[in-house]
């Protein structure tokens, strides 16, 4: 009895199973229907989304929570282009996702067929790698390659474009014979030992050193090695926005986040250090401000797995190309502690003089809500965020103590990221409390995923910091555009509690400070599905500290400026 060979679609599903894939986040269409049909015969669970952007953010949140690639299925044309925003988000933040797109048949490529788009071409700037498959027998090898590329080295998204006739074609190639063909692709591991020894000498000689922990440190699981380094050498540690979790922010050596909206004492530490060592951070513009004077006179050291980041934005004195964890572990074998006691005393003084704070009088403050959330969860929750004021307040007041417990859109700054990312993170961390901290503007971009969370009974908590404004844009208009507000008033927001209930979720509303703790605790205790907490905070509050874009650290604002400031040339 002859056995029909498996199809390309079946080979894709087989390949995903071999990679240990638990979930596919997707939306069907004509071009990817064979893959959805093959999915029915596998143990992989489909998370049917309401929009393809939601699928990519869910896969991204899952990937950041687990370290394993998240998988997305979308159809051709608009289905695939809807996934580009989330793919770019993953690329900017080095998150491993696999986006598998349906495509028109091979003979129709380039002929403007129905729902055709050159997705592999469109995606080139926002992926680590992109494939257009034209031979079904390539599928087993390319699935393996895709996961290897996405998850190794500096992680990132890989897109696979699959014409419909290829997904229906027979696959005669065996998975066992699929050798990966990746000429020129290598994964840096240990750094150069001579350079590491030189860096060890620099650290020992420094009187005012500072460690800067970035996302690469989180990805490489370098936290334990960094903690050993910091404690042995008594060196203070700052973290980038995406570096939260690379070193516990509750540690006495932590100064919290640096940069545009970093803590005042972190920024003071940056301004006065005589050595700064970046561990897996790309020195982005939100960190360095005015590049020409950033840490002027200080020794600058950069450890990174991606050599293209070296000397890209600032010139450094020593570069170590390698995996952050392996480099720090080797560095720890060479260290001789110096004397940083005076330096740490000065930093403690700045912490007392310039603490994070907010005014207690008036209505409900966003900072108060997030400070209380931090107290209630005690660092044991996974927090995802959207982009804007709420993101910066959450970064300031919600201290991260564990790896992969802080998930946000940093490089791309993608509104709408926080809630679907929380869905993915909850699937990755089923036993953890997962909280999406979002703004009322960004939440409305992907709130269609509420039924997705409800149908799957995911106990995600969505905390809306609702000030009825696009708050960060309003803040810039307030400070730099003489308060000429344009396009930022979100008048007409829906009733988020009723919306939640209409979608099968639980709704809570907080208006008064007196109700804050009680309602937050009720929401944290609710685990029968998703819930939405609408925190109606003061409308016109601004995030401080603030370093205006492109300005030096010395321009840091601790409060509202008395006069209008010049419009910054840097990005918002």
Q: Determine, yes or no, domain membership for 566.
A: no
* Same domain assignment for residues 263 and 376: no
pLDDT digits (tens, 9 = 90+) for 114-126: 999 999 999 999 9
> Which tokens hold the place of 326?
């392996």
* Same domain assignment for residues 299 and 265: yes
- Known active-site residue 114: yes
246: domain CATH number is: 3.40.50.1220
Q: Which of 329, 353, 377 is where one domain is finished? A: 353
* Same domain assignment for residues 148 and 220: no
Q: Which of 92, 472, 546, 556 is catalytic?
A: 472
133: domain CATH number is: 3.40.50.970
What is the residue-averaged pLDDT of the chain? 95
Q: Which of 22, 68, 115, 432 is catalytic?
A: 115
* Same domain assignment for residues 269 and 294: yes
Q: Mean pLDDT across the stretch 474-501?
A: 95
Q: Which of 353, 378, 393 is where one domain is finished? A: 353
* Same domain assignment for residues 209 and 63: no
Spatial neighbors of 506 by CB under 8 A, at least 6 apart, are 500, 523, 526, 528, 529, 530, 531, 532
Q: How many independent structural domains does the chain possess?
A: 3
- Known active-site residue 562: no
Q: State the Cα–Cα distance between residues 369 and 545, nearest whole angstrom.
A: 18
pLDDT digits (tens, 9 = 90+) for 480-491: 999 999 999 998
Identify the domain containing residue 500 by its residue range: 366-541
Spatial neighbors of 387 by CB under 8 A, at least 6 apart, are 408, 409, 413, 414, 415, 417, 418, 439, 442, 472
* Same domain assignment for residues 137 and 256: no
- Angle between helix axes 84-92 and 52-66 (nearest 10 degrees) is 20
Q: What is the pTM of this model?
A: 0.96
- Known active-site residue 52: yes
Residue 570 has pLDDT above 90, yes or no: no
pLDDT digits (tens, 9 = 90+) for 269-311: 999 999 999 999 999 999 999 999 999 999 999 999 999 999 9
pLDDT digits (tens, 9 = 90+) for 312-336: 999 999 999 999 999 999 999 999 9
Q: Determine, yes or no, domain membership for 147.
A: yes
Q: Which of 114, 201, 501, 560 is catalytic?
A: 114
Residue 1 has pLDDT above 60, yes or no: no
Is the previous residue joined to 545 through a cis bond, with omega within 30 degrees of 0? Answer: yes
Q: Is 361 exposed, middle or buried (0-12, 13-18, 19+ CB in 10 A)?
A: exposed
| Plot region of 13 (φ>0 → left; ψ -120 to 50 → alpha; else → beta) | alpha
pLDDT digits (tens, 9 = 90+) for 396-406: 999 999 999 99
* Same domain assignment for residues 305 and 423: no
Give residue 267's pLDDT: 98
Q: Which of 125, 145, 177 is where one domain is finished? A: 177
Give residue 5's pLDDT: 87
Q: Determine, yes or no, domain membership for 217.
A: yes
Residue 177 has pLDDT above 70, yes or no: no
Q: Which of 52, 309, 536, 551 is catalytic?
A: 52
* Same domain assignment for residues 130 and 244: no
- Angle between helix axes 471-480 and 389-397 (nearest 10 degrees) is 100
* Same domain assignment for residues 288 and 392: no
* Same domain assignment for residues 408 and 479: yes
* Same domain assignment for residues 281 and 155: no
Q: Which of 91, 128, 164, 294 is catalytic?
A: 164
* Same domain assignment for residues 46 and 144: yes
């Amino acid at each position: 009895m002859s056995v029909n060979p498996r199809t390309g679609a079946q080979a894709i599903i087989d390949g995903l199973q071999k990679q240990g894939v638990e979930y596919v986040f997707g939306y069907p269409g004509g071009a990817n229907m064979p893959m959805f049909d093959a999915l029915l015969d596998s143990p992989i669970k489909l998370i049917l989304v309401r929009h393809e952007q939601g699928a990519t953010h869910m896969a991204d949140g899952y990937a950041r929570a687990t370290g394993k690639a998240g998988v997305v299925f979308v159809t051709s044309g608009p289905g695939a282009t809807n996934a580009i925003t989330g793919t770019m988000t993953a690329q900017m933040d080095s998150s491993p996702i696999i986006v598998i797109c349906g495509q028109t048949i091979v003979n129709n490529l380039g002929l403007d067929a129905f729902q055709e788009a050159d997705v592999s071409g469109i995606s080139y700037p926002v992926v680590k790698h992109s494939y257009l498959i034209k031979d079904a027998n390539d599928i087993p090898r390319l699935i393996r390659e895709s996961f290897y590329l996405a998850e190794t080295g500096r992680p990132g998204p890989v897109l696979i474009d699959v014409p419909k006739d290829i997904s229906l074609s027979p696959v005669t190639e065996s998975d066992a014979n699929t050798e990966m063909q990746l000429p020129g692709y290598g994964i840096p591991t240990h750094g150069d030992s001579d350079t590491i020894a030189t860096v060890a000498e620099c650290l020992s000689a420094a009187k005012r050193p500072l460690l800067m922990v970035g996302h690469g440190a989180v990805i490489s699981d370098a936290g334990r090695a960094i903690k050993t380094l910091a404690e042995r050498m008594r060196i203070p540690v700052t973290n980038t926005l995406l570096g939260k979790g690379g070193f516990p922010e509750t540690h006495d050596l932590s100064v919290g986040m640096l940069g545009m909206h970093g803590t005042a004492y972190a920024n003071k530490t940056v301004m006065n250090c005589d050595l700064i060592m970046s561990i897996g951070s790309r020195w982005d513009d939100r960190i360095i401000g005015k590049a020409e004077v950033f840490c002027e006179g200080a020794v600058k050291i950069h450890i990174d797995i991606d050599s293209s980041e070296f000397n890209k934005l600032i010139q450094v004195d020593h570069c170590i190309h390698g995996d952050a964890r392996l480099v720090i572990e080797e560095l720890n074998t060479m260290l001789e502690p110096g004397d940083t006691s005076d330096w740490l005393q000065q930093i403690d003084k700045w912490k007392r003089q310039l603490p994070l704070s907010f005014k207690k009088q008036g209505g409900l403050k966003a900072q108060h809500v997030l400070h209380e959330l931090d107290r209630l969860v005690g660092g044991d929750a996974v927090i995802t965020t959207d982009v804007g004021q709420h993101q910066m307040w959450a970064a300031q007041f919600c201290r991260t103590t564990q790896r992969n417990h802080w998930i946000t859109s940093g490089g791309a700054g993608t509104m709408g990221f926080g809630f679907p990312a929380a869905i993915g993170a909850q699937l990755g961390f089923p036993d953890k409390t997962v909280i999406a901290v979002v703004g009322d503007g960004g939440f409305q971009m992907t709130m269609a995923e509420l039924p997705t969370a409800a149908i799957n009974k995911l106990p995600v908590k969505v905390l809306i910091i609702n000030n009825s404004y696009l708050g960060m844009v309003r803040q810039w208009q307030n400070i730099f555009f003489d308060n000429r507000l344009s396009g930022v008033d979100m008048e007409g927001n829906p009733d988020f509690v009723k919306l939640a209930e209409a979608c099968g979720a639980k709704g809570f509303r907080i208006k008064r400070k007196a109700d804050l703790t009680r309602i937050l605790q009720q929401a944290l205790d609710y685990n029968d599905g998703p819930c939405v907490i609408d925190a109606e905070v003061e409308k016109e509050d601004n995030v401080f500290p603030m370093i205006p874009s492109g300005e030096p650290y010395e321009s840091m604002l601790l409060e509202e400026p008395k006069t209008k400031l010049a419009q910054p040339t840097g990005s918002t």
